[in-house]
Structures are given as C-alpha cells and as structure tokens.
C-alpha cells in the first residue's frame, strides 16, 4: 500500500524526530522555556538547571530567560519585597499513539487513546529564601501611616545566592488540530488534560494542573504552530499559482491530521488548474 493511495502529498513525522525537534526549539529559543527574575537572568549560574542553548543564542544576543517580576511577599509594602525565582521547562518528550514512550499517570486514564499524543514535561523551579535579609530588615519609615500623597518606596528584591529548587513531572494528553494562520493551514496542539504527579492536597493539585493546562494551551496556540508546508520542507508545488492544495477530506481519509503508528501524518490533495 502506498502513502498516496488516497491523496497526492503525504508527510509524516515520527515521534523520535519530533523529540529531536523539541530539543532544537528549546536550545534555540530558551527564553520560551526559561522564566526568571532579572537577577537570576543576570546570574544564570544560580538557576535551577543550566540553560542549554546554541552558540547563536548568545552570538545574536538572544536572552536565555524571559524576565518576569519577582514573587511579591504578600503584606510587605514598607517597602514592598519580592523574591527571585525561576521556572524552567527542562525536558519535553512526545509520544504519538500507540503510547510506548511516556508512561501516563492513572489520572490521565492510560492507555493513550487513539489519535492522541502524550507528553512528559519536566519542570524545575526554585525561589529564594532570604532568611538573612529578613533578619536584618528595617521597615522604611516614610511608608508609615495612611498618607496617600507619599511616594511608595520601590520594591526591594533581596540578592540571591541560591534558589531552593524542585522539579515536577507533568504529563499531558493532546490531539492535533488544523487552524488557518495567515492564510496557511497550520498544525496546532490542543491540550485535553494535564496531571502533575505527586502534588497534595487535591485542591492544590487541581490548581497546578489547571495553570499548566492553560499555559500549554496558550503556548501551543501562540508560539508552537507549524504550517503544514513546513512538514513538506516547503515543497515548491504548494506555492504554485496553478495548484490548489487542501487537506484530504473524510472520506477517503478518516483522520487528517492523523496520529498513529508513532507518527503524526498529514494527507493533502492537490487540484491543478487547467
């Protein structure tokens, strides 16, 4: 049986290939996967995990971290105090159906359903614990009282020698849809469910799961969208004025894009103008 029995163009990426692509994306766009305060960004050696990156990242002055605000200490406003922290996505592994690479936790109802992918993501994070700072801390006198016309003091961020780090294993189940982005049919991941292993109590676990699901959904929709033409190495046929290319419908192709045989597959039918 041929790849193009029911279509004109076929493209497939195997999960090992996708996992290598994920590593390349993470090394060439580290600031999409590493978030830290300015201090940590300026002192990357204190991050929880060294940021893997290509030489071009630093050569072209791309950041290793996306700089975010310090975590505010609630109730502290004289002056406000924030803590350095970082959150890093350090590993991402994709498993196309049938599941044989990622072992899904019970919460995600294994085995992996047909036409779905599983993903294992290792997230490491850490926050400063500024015990010495607090010991020597004196409130700012100007902030006493209720006067509203007094300028609020600037946030203080204690310098950090070391973050208290931890790592989490998150698992997600997703499927692939097609959206038109700038007139080009593009592949977009749609997250179905997320579970972070070993979080208690249940409410905290649900909050973290929801936060991560939202994060992944938005990241997949905003950043990790790939035109289908990319899977075909921008085959010149697709840009010809005389050629109209569209995803092959059902029938004859029941799932398009399809996830099976450990691959993501796309089937395209072309129409040639006379």
Which residues contact another protein (rule: CB under 8 A)?
2-5, 7-14, 16-17, 20-21, 23-25, 28-29, 31, 54-57, 59-60, 62, 226, 230-237, 240, 243, 262-263, 270, 272
Which CB, 186 or 193, lies closer to another protein? 186
Cα–Cα dist 84/130, whole Å: 9
Q: What is the 3-state secondary structure (H, E, C) of 162-188?
A: CEEEEEEEEEEEEEEEEEEECCEEEEE
Distances in whole angstroms, Cα of residue 146 to Cα of each of 53, 139, 149, 150, 232: 49, 15, 9, 9, 65
Minimal distance, residue 258 CB to another protein, in Å: 13
> With respect to another protein, which residue has the nearer C-beta, 5 or 206?
5
Task: State the minimum distance, in angstroms, from the CB of residue 92 to another protein.
Answer: 14
Closer Cβ to another protein, 14 or 143, answer by number: 14
DSSP assignment of 54-106, as one string?
-HHHHHTT--SSEE-PPEEEEEEETTEEEE-EEEEEEEEEEEESSP-SS---G
Instruction: Write down the least CB distance from residue 85 to another protein, Å.
Output: 23
What span, in angstroms and rounded, lies between the C-alpha atoms of 187 and 11?
12
Chain mean position to CA 243: 35
In the bound complex, what is the minimum distance in angstroms from residue 231's beta carbon to another protein?
Answer: 8
Tokens of 166: 């931890």
Report the nearest approach of another protein to the CB of residue 59 (Å): 7
Residue 233 or 251 with smaller CB distance to another protein: 233
Alpha helix segments (H runs only) across the chain: 15-28, 38-42, 55-59, 131-135, 202-222, 228-231
Nearer to another protein, 4 or 142 (CB): 4
Q: Output 5 or 42, the one with its CB closest to another protein.
A: 5
Tokens (6 digits) for 197: 């292993």
Nearest-approach distance from CB 103 to another protein, in angstroms: 22
């Amino acid at each position: 049986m041929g790849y193009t029995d029911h279509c004109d163009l076929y493209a497939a990426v195997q999960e090992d290939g996708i996992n290598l692509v994920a590593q390349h994306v993470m090394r060439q766009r580290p600031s999409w996967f590493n978030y830290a305060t300015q201090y940590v960004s300026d002192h990357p050696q204190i991050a929880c995990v060294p940021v893997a990156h290509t030489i071009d990242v630093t050569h072209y002055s791309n950041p290793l971290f996306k700089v975010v605000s310090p975590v505010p200490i609630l109730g502290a406003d004289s002056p406000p105090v924030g803590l350095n922290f970082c959150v890093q996505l350090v590993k991402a592994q994709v498993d196309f159906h049938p599941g044989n690479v990622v072992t899904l936790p019970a919460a995600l109802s294994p085995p992996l359903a047909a036409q779905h992918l599983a993903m294992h993501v290792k997230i490491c994070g850490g926050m400063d614990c500024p015990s010495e700072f607090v010991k020597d801390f004196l409130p700012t006198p100007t902030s006493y009282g209720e006067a509203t016309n007094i300028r609020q003091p600037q946030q203080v961020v204690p310098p950090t020698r070391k973050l208290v780090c931890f790592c989490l294993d998150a698992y997600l189940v997703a499927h692939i849809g097609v959206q038109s982005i700038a007139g080009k049919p593009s592949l977009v991941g749609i997250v179905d469910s997320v579970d972070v292993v070993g979080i208690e109590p249940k409410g905290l676990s649900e909050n973290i799961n929801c936060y991560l699901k939202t994060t992944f959904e938005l990241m997949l929709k905003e950043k990790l969208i790939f035109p289908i033409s990319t899977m075909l190495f921008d085959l010149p046929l697709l840009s010809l004025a005389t050629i109209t290319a569209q995803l092959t419908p059902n029938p004859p192709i029941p799932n398009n894009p399809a996830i099976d045989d450990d691959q993501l597959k796309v089937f395209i039918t072309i129409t040639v103008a006379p």
